[in-house]
Structure 1
Amino acid sequence: MFKQFSIEGRIAAISLLAVIVGVSIPVILLRFDIDTHLAWSGGLLLAMPTVLLLLRLVTGPLNHTLTALESGLLNFRDGDFSISLATKRSDQLGQLTQLYNEVGEILRRERAHIYQRELLLDTVIQSSPQSLLLVDQGDHIIYANSSSRHLLNNGKPIQGLTLERLLPSCPQELAEAIEKGEDGLFSYSDGDNPQTLHIGNSTFVLNAQRHRLIVIREMTRELTRAEVQVWKKVIRLISHELNNSLAPISSMAHSGKMLIQQPGKAEALEKVFDIIAERCQHLTEFTQGYARFAKLPAPSCETVQWQQLIDRLAPLHQFTLRGELPSRPGHFDPVQVEQALLNLFKNAAEAGSDAEHTELRISADARGQELMVRDRGCGMSEKVLQQALLPFYSTKPQGVGLGLALCREIVDAHGGHIQLHNRPGGGLQISLWLPW
């Protein structure tokens, strides 16, 4: 009877019925000459069950609907959006139930959409050739893709492990690079195959906790492909440089021949020969640079006293020696290592680092010896850092791109590895590690 009314209308109707019943019963009893006080008392006693029965008829379905809504909202809080409510009512509670169902449907669709996107993202990440590790602030690995499992743990699961437990099973050079937490390029030997990797680190806050994302990019194949392109570029560059030198030499030779036939042209003839000599010197230096790189001999390793190495380097370039020299002598090719260090000192100076901030630090342990050059120059961008070891790659207008490439060749020939990364506060740090 009350279904066509709103909830407020039903409560008002019940109140009106209660008043009517409460007044009608005493009036009826008074007609039978019953005492007035007794009539009103009996009327009230008879009216109360009637009112309670009417209230139960109205509030019973209301309580049932509210209980269902409460249960559904608790499911929402727990992340369960699968429950819908029956909508047989046409009042405000029916509209509220319908709205609840619509919200539940929207949330279900959103969850399904998010799940599909997460599945797609996970598929892309798992098939990525780059190794990705997500580490929480307790150094626990909470996510790792397939490439990282094969690189760091021979394909075995690593999710849930700590870095402290995982790194001992990795190559020593790779473990040290990850532990340092710095971006950089480094190489190591995997049997007879030298490997070059780039490691990148980024930090962010997730669920009020600091997380670290480690991205390891395998650069060996890219370097090999890039080197093929570089060699083609070198051929064009050498051809261009030869033409630039041979053309003026030929022209000057012809001019000199003409001047010889004219008396009193000795001064002009001298200038012609000076230009020819200058171009020949430039061409000689140009070709010698490429020859040194292309014909690097096998290292002739010998015992080297560290102080003697420092004494040979000091007159050739200014730098600052940091720390104490190892007590154990070094063992390497002194000529090649000296050349590598001079190249690094030269690069530091060209990057804007003065002698005070161009530092050389030498250390040694049971595994090998490390020569570290640090500067306060302009450093390298991420793109340049990834290609810095390529031969003939240079960002300098007059550079030929042989300095770091020659250092890499020297270190690889010794069976060691090279690492590059930018320093906090500016500058570059380059480590040459050589085994005994």
Structure 2
Amino acid sequence: MRRKSRFSLEGRFIALLSVIVAGSAVLSALLALHWRDGWLVIPVVMLVAIVAVVAAVRRFFRPIDEIHQALRSGVASFKDHDYSVTIATSRGDELGELVQVYNELAESLRNERFDLFQRELMLDTVIQSSAVAVYIANEAGAVIYGNREAADLVGKRGGIEGHDLLKLTGARAESLAAAIADGKDGLFTLPQDGDGSEILHLTCRNFNLNGRIHRLFLIKKLTREITRREVETWKKVIRVITHEMNNSLAPIRSLITSAQKIAETGKGGEHLRDIYQSIGSRAGHLQTFIEEYAHFARLPHPRAEWVDWNPFVTSLESLAEFKLAENLPDDPGHFDPVQMEQVLLNLMKNAAESGSDSADIRLRVLQNETETLIAVEDRGDGMSTEQMQLALLPFYSTKRSGTGLGLPLCREIVEAHGGTFNLFARQDGGMAATCRLPRPPG
């Protein structure tokens, strides 16, 4: 709490000068009264007064100068991030208040620096203990920070700060240096000792530090996670295939048994035809199911070409019922027409099966110089947020007879084009499926 000053600096200084002037005047008057030629003494008294004023002023300003020097030294130490300098004073005036404010500021900066140091220490401990390799490189490509995992990844036991990042990673593996040089998020394979390899994921970000651009690289090992997911996926595939095959083989087995009993009696030819028809239907369903799975597994790489929109959409209209949401672009799109036709037909089939009226199924095509947006919109029953997330996973289906491959196949085709596939719930009900495809220059 600040001390309340009894006298200001200005008041003290005026009081000091007033005492000296008043004393000089009284002394001059007394000498003039006692001496006949007292006026001759006045210059002497004035000289003595001037000397007294100079001495008093110097004495008055000496502690002020000392505090001023101390404040200058303390503020200069702030520039060097040294906040340990404090100033002791017992003054009760404005200068004392200034010193107290300085001391409070120094204490506040000391506390903030200590808290910042503790947070930096905690953050560094977390990063050093992380299983993710962290590299920070400056504009010249030199490493200015790397954690233990980053050093282990490139086989360096000591510090890696100051090393060129590309040379450092290139000495470990060409694939690692190539991923760093490419600077794009994604997976890459790192060779291991022997014949094995490890799958890693790279994340790259730019950020500004002290007015200069720096790059952050995060590398995470995913081999175990991917292997675990692969095992889970294969287990699910086996369960789905087993379920579908049992659904077809069990009725077929029962129908064959019934056919044998009827054949033994030598009667019931009409029943035998029905049984054979049912067996053929179940076998056809099983064949369709297997063919869909095989097609999903053998999806060819898209052969993109320039496609005029009018004949492409006219071909779609002969296969599905829908309306155009707006006029088609004048410029052609760039994609594999066969595969994208399959995507759109699948989306329109889903829209029709969702309970949407055919008049509410709309095809929307928007295009600019770099991107093509194709959307299929409906006013059906829609999906919950959880269902939309699961719908893009293979083998998930909300339909009793569905294989769960339609939407995953759409996403696989769009992503093979270098695009993105998403599902959205529309505001007034229904769904929208969007395909964003890149367009090459020209």
Give 3-state SS (helix, strand or coil) of 2:117's partner. Answer: helix
CA contact (8 A) 2:132 2:219 kept: yes
What per-residue deviation string (whole Å, max 9, x for no partner) do you get for residues 182-241 of structure 1? Answer: 111122432311211110111121211111110011111222233333343334333323
> What TM-score, normalized by structure 2, do the two folds share?
0.63
Cross-structure match for 1:215: 218
CA contact (8 A) 1:130 1:147 kept: yes
User: Structure 1 regions of 5+ residues with no counterpart?
Assistant: 294-312, 322-344, 354-374, 379-391, 404-419, 429-436
Note the C-alpha offset of 1:112.
1.2
Q: How is 1:293-332 mapped onto 2 (pairs within 5 angstroms)?
A: 319-320=303-304
Give 3-state SS (helix, strand or coil) of 1:186's partner. Answer: strand
Cross-structure match for 1:124: 126
- The alpha-carbon distance between structure 1 residues 224 and 351, as it changes in their structure 2 partners (threshold 3 A), is farther
What per-residue deviation string (whole Å, max 9, x for no partner) do you get for residues 283-341 of structure 1? Answer: 54478689x99xxxxxxxxxxxxxxxxxxx9xx876159xxxxxxxxxxxxxxxxxxxx
In 1, distance between residues paired with 2:203 and 2:339? Answer: 23
CA contact (8 A) 1:153 1:166 kept: no
Cross-structure match for 1:90: 92
CA contact (8 A) 1:393 1:400 kept: no
Residue 224 of structure 1 aligns to which amino acid in structure 2? T
> What TM-score, normalized by structure 1, do the two folds share?
0.63
Cross-structure match for 1:75: 77
- The alpha-carbon distance between structure 1 residues 229 and 400, as it changes in their structure 2 partners (threshold 3 A), is farther
Note the C-alpha offset of 1:52.
1.7
| Structure showing greater relative contact order (alpha-carbon pairs closer than 8 Å, 6 or more residues apart) | 1
CA RMSD of aligned residues (A): 4.2
- The alpha-carbon distance between structure 1 residues 272 and 237, as it changes in their structure 2 partners (threshold 3 A), is closer
1:114 paired residue among 98, 116, 135: 116
Residue 81 of structure 2 aligns to which amino acid in structure 1? G
- The alpha-carbon distance between structure 1 residues 318 and 200, as it changes in their structure 2 partners (threshold 3 A), is closer
- The alpha-carbon distance between structure 1 residues 80 and 120, as it changes in their structure 2 partners (threshold 3 A), is same
Note the C-alpha offset of 1:268.
5.2
- The alpha-carbon distance between structure 1 residues 289 and 427, as it changes in their structure 2 partners (threshold 3 A), is closer
Note the C-alpha offset of 1:134.
0.8
In 1, distance between residues paired with 2:339 and 2:88? Answer: 76
What percentage of aligned pairs have identical amino acids?
Answer: 33
Note the C-alpha offset of 1:126.
0.9
Note the C-alpha offset of 1:13.
0.5
- The alpha-carbon distance between structure 1 residues 101 and 423, as it changes in their structure 2 partners (threshold 3 A), is farther
In 2, distance between residues paired with 1:427 and 1:209? Answer: 34
Residue 172 of structure 2 aligns to which amino acid in structure 1? C
Number of aligned positions between the proteins = 331
In 1, distance between residues paired with 2:289 and 2:342? Answer: 26
Cross-structure match for 1:381: none
Cross-structure match for 2:243: 240
What per-residue deviation string (whole Å, max 9, x for no partner) do you get for residues 133-166 of structure 1? Answer: 1112222211111111111243342211223432
Give 3-state SS (helix, strand or coil) of 1:228's partner. Answer: helix
CA contact (8 A) 2:304 2:337 kept: no
Give 3-state SS (helix, strand or coil) of 2:10's partner. Answer: helix
- The alpha-carbon distance between structure 1 residues 234 and 171, as it changes in their structure 2 partners (threshold 3 A), is same
Cross-structure match for 1:382: none
1:43 paired residue among 24, 42, 45: 45
In 2, distance between residues paired with 1:180 and 1:252? Answer: 61
Give 3-state SS (helix, strand or coil) of 1:44's partner. Answer: helix
CA contact (8 A) 2:83 2:107 kept: yes
What per-residue deviation string (whole Å, max 9, x for no partner) do you get for residues 61-98 of structure 1? Answer: 22212221221122123210111211322333223322
In 2, distance between residues paired with 1:207 and 1:181? Answer: 22
- The alpha-carbon distance between structure 1 residues 27 and 254, as it changes in their structure 2 partners (threshold 3 A), is farther
1:280 maps to 2:283: no
What per-residue deviation string (whole Å, max 9, x for no partner) do you get for residues 397-433 of structure 1? Answer: 6339999xxxxxxxxxxxxxxxx99789x769xxxxx
Cross-structure match for 1:53: 55
1:8 maps to 2:17: no
- The alpha-carbon distance between structure 1 residues 210 and 29, as it changes in their structure 2 partners (threshold 3 A), is same
- The alpha-carbon distance between structure 1 residues 422 and 277, as it changes in their structure 2 partners (threshold 3 A), is closer
1:204 paired residue among 183, 203, 207: 207
Cross-structure match for 1:408: none
Note the C-alpha offset of 1:9.
1.9
